Structure 1
Amino acid sequence: MVFSSQILEPLVSVIIPTYNRPEYLKQAITSALNQTYQNIEIIVSDNCSPENPQALVASFQDPRIRFWRHPKNVGLLANQLHAFKMAKGKYFASLHDDDLWNQDFLAKLVPTLEANPNVILSFCDQYIIDKYTRIDEVATEENSRAYKRNKIKGGVHTNFTTMGLVYKSIPTAAAAVFRNGVIDWDKIPAEVGGMWDLYLTYLACISGYAVYYHPEKLTRYRCHEETDTMMSGGRNIQAKIRKAKSEIFCYQTFMEDVRLQEFYPYFKQQCLEAHTTLGIGLLRDKKVADARPYFLLALKGQKFNFRTVVALILSFIPWFLVNKLIFMQRRKNQSENSLINA
């Protein structure tokens, strides 16, 4: 008698939260369906996109795909968590609607979870791609170095707090497969916001489980102007404010956890930097009175920080002059970059 390999493989839930990116969503679903590991369910959770993607999802005509559409926009975190709660698989993995997986992503990460019941998640390295799906080799290597994945040994790691919360090596939202049933989704507070992946890493770190690292690049993280990371970097003031508030909440939570006291100085520094970031966001939103207390708190918690001092000084300068100074600095940076690239 011949048995299908799917019978032997445990079910994996592929979580794809989406909002108004139909072309990228189509690519993401295709990359999930093209996995050599075939026993999957794909949960597409739409956050009330202006253009309903239901017809696009249905066009795949694959019974493994489940579609959910919120009747109103519930926010990034609520949409993500709702999809997680829908997962029926023994394992689950998050796939952003603008990212892609290599065909062997699940095939190389699931077996270790099956063989090691004490492993909560397995993760890998990733490529960086642009909006046209082209691999950016320079950005890819910079990304691997920045998160120190180029120095992590492949295999099982029992103590991974430094790896997860300091180096942030584990791309939980883009390149990891989790054991389902360990994380209580109701314990992720709304204040976590867009930093849900960092908070999920925190819950994994304190779970008592181990993690597994596969040192290959098996996923493709897309960098483009519509990502929350790019917007919070300066293109969108409200995104910057939301991210800073989420960071403050996360690092304050980490500081209060007695199990993580050895990392307290690092968490405190990150929290203070987030205070400055939030103040700058509020300052750019012309909420000067709201911004200053965050600068003062940041300065009180550290001896000296040039970025914070400059931001506080700017809060006392008329806004039209601040805009002029920012414009002049940007022109200077552009000129310097032009000379470097000439």
Structure 2
Amino acid sequence: MKNTFTPNDTAFAGQIPDRDIMTRSLHLMRNSLVTADLLFAKTHYLPNLYEKLTRLNILAVTEQQYLGEQTERLIIDIESKTALLRQYVQPSATPIDAEELEDIDVQCQRLVNNATAVAQQLASALSGMTQGIDRQQTAEFGQSLQGDMANAGTRLDVLHTTLAKLNEERQVLSTAIDALESKGATSIAKDTLITADKVLSLGMQPPELAVIMLALEQMKATLEKGEAGINLIAMIKRRDGFRERINALSQQLAGMDKEKIALAQRIELIECFNDFDQQRAAYVEQYQKIKNTLDSFLVVNTTSASDGKQRSMRLINSGQQLIGYLNRIR
């Protein structure tokens, strides 16, 4: 789409905004904020930025509605005022007395004043919408969170590995205890030291024998200095200790999983903030063109004129151009 609009015999050049960009940007801003609403409700992260974007979204929607309403009013105002002015500037027009001239001047000024009020409102809206977020700051936040995510992932891997090892050792020990209790409950007291010879004397099958010997080897590796050996009581106690450690580790893993999810949600929230701000900037760029065009119209019609007819002709010509411009953007 062309960026300028310059009909023949016009007093100023208008900058045509891309209405598709404006409509799309408002839509994407709204979508980003909907997602941000959900994520913020879960994380309560960066509340000041969230509140700022909420205000910006409300401002953009409100000003879009205002722009549509004022566009219609300006078109009607220009059409009615220029119809009156044409009667004054026509060569065949009957002479106009001083009172009528004064009324024409008042009408011209009212039109300019109305356009000025709209331009001031657009300027105020632009001032608010131009103040976006500090994307460098949000990028730094995102990088920091990504680092935290990586660290959390590493810690989770270590914990999962540890948990798997504990479960494996506990399973070996439980199987060994079950085998001993089923085969040797009557021949082995719970406080009797369990040795390889004692196990062999029970007539264990090779699979059972292998798992018992593995359990004994694992326990020997953790015997404290001075301990005489391993008995069934120690094995049961160690199995119960495994259960406690596994439960504690499982709770720790659950907490870290929640922490990782929270970090991911914070990262996604920052991405929503950045997406919103990119669309805000795109919208403002197009909105600025409308403000610039209205300013150009006002510059033309606030410049001194040699007489009332010159001022009227200028307002008629520029007014028609502005009508054409406003019809294209509404």
Shorter-chain TM-score above 0.5: no
Choose between structure 1 and 2: higher strand proportion.
Answer: 1
For CA contacts below 8 A with separation 6 or more, give which structure has more relative contact order. 2
TM-score, normalized by length of structure 2?
Answer: 0.19
Greater C-alpha radius of gyration: 2
Choose between structure 1 and 2: higher helix proportion.
Answer: 2
TM-score, normalized by length of structure 1?
Answer: 0.19
